Structure 1
Amino acid sequence: MKRTLNKQSVLAVGMGTWHMGDDPAKEKAEIDALQAGIKAGAAVIDTAEMYGEGNAETLVGKAIQPFTRGDLYLISKVYPWNASADELPKALDRSLARLGTDYLDLYLLHWRGDVPLAETVDALEAAKASGKIRAWGVSNFDVADMEELLRLENGDQCAANQVLYNLGARGIEYDLLPWQAEAEIPVIAYSPIAQGDRLGHHFKNDEVLKELAEAKGCTIFQLLLAWTLRQPHVLAIPQTSDSLHMLQNIEATKIVFSKSELATIDARFPEPTKKQPLAMI
């Protein structure tokens, strides 16, 4: 199962790194997990300067050392207060130094702040012209934000929008997801199996999901990930520090649902019927 990011075909499951790199005792396991994912074909690694104030980027830099840079798709994100004409180039250089690379495949504005969006777009375009990023995008943008972005000069160069999306956070299905599909702007789903919020425990113990997972010969978390990936324009970036779980995440790309199975899930966790505020964690 493949997705296209900035005209590059990648596996539909990438690797998130939120909360990684903060505990030296966990470093080896975290690096092992990322390297296991790369070896299994997961090219996309998503990180941010916010994650551990650079610790996650440093960890990723260590994990990718043995691999050919061209085989990887590195994403990082800039703080909104660093997204100005003066500060963005500095923040980008710091991220590149921590990652040990001279370019990012995709650089995202982490969320909207006080810097005018037009100024951020200009700074991102300048970074692209310099060769330090191949493409840029945004994160945590709702429909109105995306519409405003695309009205700006070069706003149509946005290559992706990263948002919270999982079975417990289906709000984007009402408007943002179809809007981005129409605009041909991919969705990058963070926390796609609700591992970053309270719902992870709830799903783990849900009898309907247990029965479905057992019938399909997979774990509940593989089921949740496959459900997120049923959308053709969605790439998911689950986070795990466990090599086995990493491989299970990648195997989830092979799970296919029947219409009746999706109907069963919808009956248990209904799709949105009206506009909802954009969910964030």
Structure 2
Amino acid sequence: MFDNYSLDSTYTLNNGVKIPRIGLGVWKTDNKTAADSVETAIKHGYTLIDTAKQYGNETGVGQGIAAGLEATGKKREDLFVTTKVFNGDQGFDSTLQNFEGTLKRLGLEYVDLYLIHWPVDGKYLDTWRALETLYKAGRVRAIGVSNFDEGHLQEVLDAGEIVPALDQIEFNPIVQDAAIREVAAENNIAIEAWSPLGGGESLNNPVIQEIAQKHGKSVAQVILRFDLQSDIITIPKTVHENRMAENIDIFDFKLTKEEMQLIQGLNQEKRSLWLDDFDWHGDANAYHDQVEHWDDSPADYAD
């Protein structure tokens, strides 16, 4: 199945829309850096770009998209742009209202995929109704969720009219979320990996290092190949051009069944960020519910 995989290969979502299988993430990137990174990525052939209002860089991403299209001669419809509902905007009316600000910052007339960023307590079902409204109106090509566990997914399935197209979750060698993936598979919901490289614990893992040495590839390349062969869409974040090129140089080798099983065996479910880390859920209060403003952030993030 994966022998002929290429940068142009796509995954068909449950509504028939095709999403590239690998793209660029821009979390923790200021607007200037995001603009440069997105432009560079498009020049290297990336077509999937993932951002969020909470990242505070939708404006930069929009600038990078415009510059990348101009530099390559590609058209808007050649790209697949994902963004997400900010936690503080959740609810039916506020989601619809704040979507207009997102389009303005991105400089786009529509987005390809709009996600609920986190299942904010008491609000995410109303937010889902708003996404359904945007989808029916043709403002977005597909709708989905992010960081929804199996219980949250089931609530949306039970209450909503439209099955989410995708659930974007933390997925890497040490966080593999079998329970979420099982519910998703049963309902034809795609899985997309954020933080696919998993930080130092994955990148320094001796099992993956040995596999990488065998194939003459980097550890990052082996991990991203693992994602693809696990049928998971992946959006590694980098601001370095050489790593952008490296991250898509994964189509000339294939992991064996045994190598896949070895990496699957590294799962520890050690999440780097989860619901209890947010002010609106639990008592941890470790991660504040705010847009990540940068020195170059525009004032219009208040919408």
Q: Which amino acid aligns with 1:58?
A: T
Give the superposition deviation at 1:71. 0.5
| Match among 11, 16, 19 for residue 25 of structure 2 | 16
Structure-1 residue corresponding to 2:189: 185
Distance 1:135 1:11, change over 3 A: closer
CA contact (8 A) 2:37 2:64 kept: no
Kindly state the Cα deviation for residue 278 of structure 1 after the two structures are TM-superposed: 7.2
1:119 aligns with 2:126: yes
How far apart in 1 are the matches of 2:40 and 2:107?
19
Cα distance, 1:244 vs structure 2:
1.5
Aligned to 2:230: 231
Alignment TM-score, normalising by the size of structure 1:
0.84
Corresponding position: 1:80 with 2:87: yes
Residue 159 (1) aligns with residue 172 (2): no
Shift, 1:279, TM fit: 6.4
1:31 shift after superposition: 3.6
TM-fit CA distance, 1:11:
2.8
Q: Residues of 2 paired with 1:202 and 1:122: CA distance? A: 39
User: Counterpart in 2 of 1:242?
Assistant: 240
Cα 1:243–1:136, aligned 2, differ >3 Å: closer, same or farther? same
Q: Is the 1:85–1:119 Cα contact (8 Å) retained in structure 2?
A: yes
Counterparts of 1:139 and 1:263 in 2: how far apart (Å)?
A: 26
In the alignment, structure 1 residue 59 sits paired with structure 2 residue 72: no
Give the superposition deviation at 1:154.
1.0
Aligned residues: 259
Displacement of 1:208 in angstroms is 2.7
8 A Cα contact 2:12 2:18, kept in partner: yes
Letter in 2 for 1:262: M
Distance 2:116 2:240 in 1: 28
Q: Does residue 34 of structure 2 align to residue 35 of structure 1?
A: no
SS for the counterpart of 1:35 is helix
1:3 aligns with 2:11: yes
How far apart, CA to CA, are the structure 2 residues paired with 1:117 and 1:210? Answer: 40
Indicate conservation of the 8 Å contact 2:112/2:142, yes or no: yes
8 Å CA contact retained: 2:81, 2:112? yes
Match of 1:197 in 2: none
- Say which is worse superposed, 34-43 or 183-192, in terms of deviation: 34-43
Q: Partner of 1:261 in structure 2?
A: 259
Partners in 2 of 1:32 and 1:253 — Cα distance?
25
Distance across 1 between alignment mates of 2:238 and 2:151:
32
| CA distance, structure 2, for counterparts of residue 266 and residue 104 of structure 1 | 34
Identity %: 31
| Structure 2: gaps (5+ residues) | 70-74, 275-303
- TM-score, structure 2 normalization: 0.78
**In structure 2, what is the Cα distance between the partners aligned to 1:8 and 1:123?**
20
**Distance in 1 separating the partners of 2:238 and 2:271:** 24
Q: CA deviation at 1:124?
A: 1.2
In the alignment, is the contact (CA less than 8 A) between 1:77 and 1:107 conserved in 2? yes
- What is the RMSD of the two structures over their aligned residues, measured on CA atoms? 2.2
Distance 1:20 1:50 in 2: 11
8 Å Cα contact 2:117/2:145 also seen in 1 = yes
| Preserved contact between residue 224 and residue 250 of structure 2 (Cα < 8 Å) | yes
Q: CA deviation at 1:185?
A: 0.6
C-alpha distance in structure 1 between counterparts of 2:257 and 2:236, whole Å: 25
CA change 1:253–1:87 in 2 (3 A) is farther
- Per-residue deviation at 1:136? 1.2
Question: How far, CA to CA, are the matches of 2:122 and 2:101 in structure 1?
Answer: 20
User: In structure 2, do the counterparts of structure 1 residues 48 and 266 end up closer, same or farther at CA, with 3 Å as the change threshold?
Assistant: closer
